[in-house]
Amino acid sequence: MASDKKTYDFLIAGVPYKLKTSHDDATVQELVEFVNNKMNQAMSVTKYGSFQNAAVLTALNVAEELILLKRKAHRELEKLEEKAMKLSTQLEKSV
């Protein structure tokens, strides 16, 4: 069964957009605020406030955050897997 989609109207750096999604209102609001804040930060540091340059800088910043979080999650998962293996070995030895 397909989930219901709702259309949202919002502004990013003053530019109007529409988004059709099945996400709830709170999630969409969080996404819009996140991207808008990143764009505004990028616009404040790009020469002449170029929208295109700010968009690319925003994409790079978000990609950086995503990659770093993925790496951290992968390291944590490896640690947990190692602990699980040690516990499994200890349990096997105690039986």
Helix runs in the chain, H state only? 25-45, 51-94
* Cα separation, 88 vs 39, whole angstroms: 48
Q: What is the pLDDT of residues 61-82, one digit of tens each?
A: 999 999 999 999 999 999 999 9
Domain-wise residue ranges, the chain: 6-94
Q: What is the pLDDT of residues 9-49, one digit of tens each?
A: 999 999 999 999 999 999 999 999 999 999 999 998 887 77
Mean pLDDT rounded to a whole number for the chain: 93
Whether residue 43 contacts residue 51, with contact meaning beta carbons closer than 8 Å, is answered with yes
Here the tokens at position 90 are 């200890």
Packing angle, helices 25-45 and 51-94, rounded to 10? 120
Here the tokens at position 63 are 């990609």
User: For the whole model, what pTM was predicted?
Assistant: 0.77
57 confidence band (pLDDT: 50, 70, 90): very high
Paired with 19 in beta bridges are 8
Its sign, for the CA torsion 86, 87, 88, 91, is: positive
**Total residues found in the chain within this entry:** 95
